[in-house]
Amino acid sequence: MSATLVAYQDLKWLIDCGEGTQRQIMRANIGFKNLSRIVLSHEHLDHILGMGGLLATLNMLQPVEHVVVYGNPTVLERVRQMTSYIGRTAQYDLQFQVLQEGLVFTHRQLDCYAFPTRHRVKQSYGFLMVRNAAASSRVKACRVPVDSSSTPMTCSVLRNLAKSSSTSAIRCISLSSAGWRRVPIV
């Protein structure tokens, strides 16, 4: 399963959402509150199959007011299909945003950028987190969406971002079907 949860200040977001992601979030005792952005790298099922269960869980628990799902058109169509099986209308504002190269979103001092990657699909993206505050240096974090071996790299570069930040630390939780592990960012 491919999923990485990133927590920064009062925001949580997911990079990919493999099958069982919502279960792993519960097992890790992370909670769903403020999980408002889900960035999906590409349409392979090991990166998106958890979306139906996660969105149904959010619908049942109602810990958020809105959720934005970012992905290429194929990804978003597959996620829309999954939402049709939830059984009732979303109890939160569910938005779909087509992912393109460039700025995806900004949250206070953190910008998330998408960049194209080479993979076995037409459109695949990696992600770059850039501290946008007027700091002496811009620190970057990226995740290349190829396989689960990229998760430690994600946490490593996020750790570097947290070290350079004078604001709240970033927490990175690597979720997998074998279990979860909190990756210390100090």
Question: DSSP 3-state assignment of 114?
Answer: strand
> 107-140 burial by CB neighbour count: b if 16+ within 10 A, else e?
bebbbbbbeebebebebbbbbbbbbeeeeeeebe
**Active-site residue numbers?**
46
Cβ-based neighbours of 2, under 8 Å, separated by 6 or more? 16, 18, 46, 47, 145, 147, 148, 151
Distance between CA 148 and CA 181 in Å, rounded?
A: 13
